[in-house]
C-alpha cells in the first residue's frame, strides 16, 4: 500500500494593503515604483508579501495567470524601480504587443565595478540557465535565448562607473549577466559580482525610466523614478 499526502492548495491571491508608489495611472493601466525586497509574484516558496497582491487592490487585471494580475514584465526581488501593469485583459494584450515589438523603453541605472572600455556599447549575447548552477543564468547555457542590452556611461568614478542601461529584450538576470560578462559586474551583486561592495545589501540596479506610446489612447507616457536612498548613499560613497 502506498499512501500519498497532498498538501492543501494555496489560497487564491487576495488584495493586500497598498504600500508602493504609483507615479502614473489611468483607467487602462498604471505604473508602480517597486521597492527592493518585494517580490513581484509568488514563486515555488509561496511568498506571502508580493507586489501582485497589492496590484490586485489597485485594480490590476489581465493575463493568463490569476496570480500575476496585469503583469507584463517583472523585476528581480532586490531590483527597485518601475513596472507597467494592465487594468484589463484588453490592455494586457496590447502591452504584450508593445513588449514583443520592443517598443517599451526600459532604462536602468547600474553602478558597476571597474571602468568601461567605451562610453557606450551593445551586448548581444544569448542568455539562459547556467549549465552547472541551476540558480544562475549565464552565456554558458543549453537553453540560450536572444538577449540584447545597450549601455551608456553616465558618470566615471574612481573605482566604479554609473551606467544607463536600456533593455531591448528582458531575460532573467539579463543586465547582471551581460555586464558581468564584459568584466563590469553590478556593485553589490551577490550572485554575479562582489557582495557587500560599497556596503550595499543588494545589487545597485534601479529601473529608472519607462517610456511608451499608450496602447489605448496613443499618448506618450514617460515616467522616471529617482534613486532610492540606499543606492543614492552608495553612489556618494563611490564618488
Catalytic center residues = 76
The neighbour count for residue 68, using CB atoms within 10 Å, is: 21
First to last CA, the chain: 68
Distance of alpha carbon 99 from alpha carbon 82, whole angstroms: 15
Q: Concatenated DSSP letters for 151-181? A: EEEEEE-SSEEEEEEEESS--TTHHHHHHHH
Task: Report the C-alpha gap between 191 and 5 in whole angstroms.
Answer: 36
CA dist., res. 211 & res. 158, Å (int): 32
User: Residue 126: left (phi > 0), alpha (psi -120 to 50), or beta?
Assistant: beta
Amino acid at each position: 500500500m502506498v499512501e500519498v499526502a497532498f498538501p492543501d492548495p494555496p489560497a487564491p491571491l487576495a488584495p493586500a494593503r497598498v504600500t508602493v508608489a504609483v507615479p502614473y495611472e489611468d483607467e487602462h493601466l498604471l505604473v508602480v515604483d517597486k521597492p527592493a525586497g518585494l517580490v513581484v509574484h509568488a514563486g515555488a516558496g509561496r511568498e506571502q508579501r508580493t507586489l501582485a497582491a497589492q496590484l490586485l487592490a489597485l485594480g490590476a487585471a489581465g493575463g493568463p495567470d490569476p496570480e500575476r494580475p496585469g503583469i507584463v514584465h517583472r523585476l528581480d526581488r532586490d531590483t527597485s524601480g518601475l513596472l507597467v501593469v494592465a487594468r484589463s485583459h484588453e490592455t494586457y494584450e496590447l502591452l504584450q504587443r508593445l513588449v514583443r515589438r520592443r517598443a517599451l523603453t526600459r532604462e536602468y541605472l547600474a553602478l558597476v565595478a571597474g571602468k568601461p572600455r567605451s562610453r557606450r556599447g551593445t551586448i548581444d549575447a544569448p542568455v539562459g540557465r547556467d549549465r552547472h548552477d541551476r540558480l544562475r543564468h549565464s552565456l554558458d547555457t543549453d537553453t540560450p535565448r536572444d538577449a540584447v542590452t545597450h549601455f551608456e556611461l553616465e558618470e566615471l568614478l574612481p573605482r566604479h562607473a554609473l551606467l544607463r542601461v536600456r533593455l531591448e529584450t528582458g531575460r532573467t538576470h539579463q543586465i547582471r549577466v551581460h555586464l558581468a560578462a564584459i568584466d563590469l559586474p553590478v556593485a553589490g551583486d551577490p550572485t554575479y559580482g562582489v557582495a557587500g561592495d560599497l556596503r550595499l545589501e543588494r545589487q545597485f540596479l534601479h529601473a529608472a525610466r519607462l517610456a511608451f506610446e499608450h496602447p489605448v489612447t496613443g499618448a506618450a507616457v514617460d515616467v522616471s523614478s529617482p534613486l532610492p536612498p540606499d543606492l543614492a548613499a552608495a553612489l556618494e560613497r563611490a564618488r
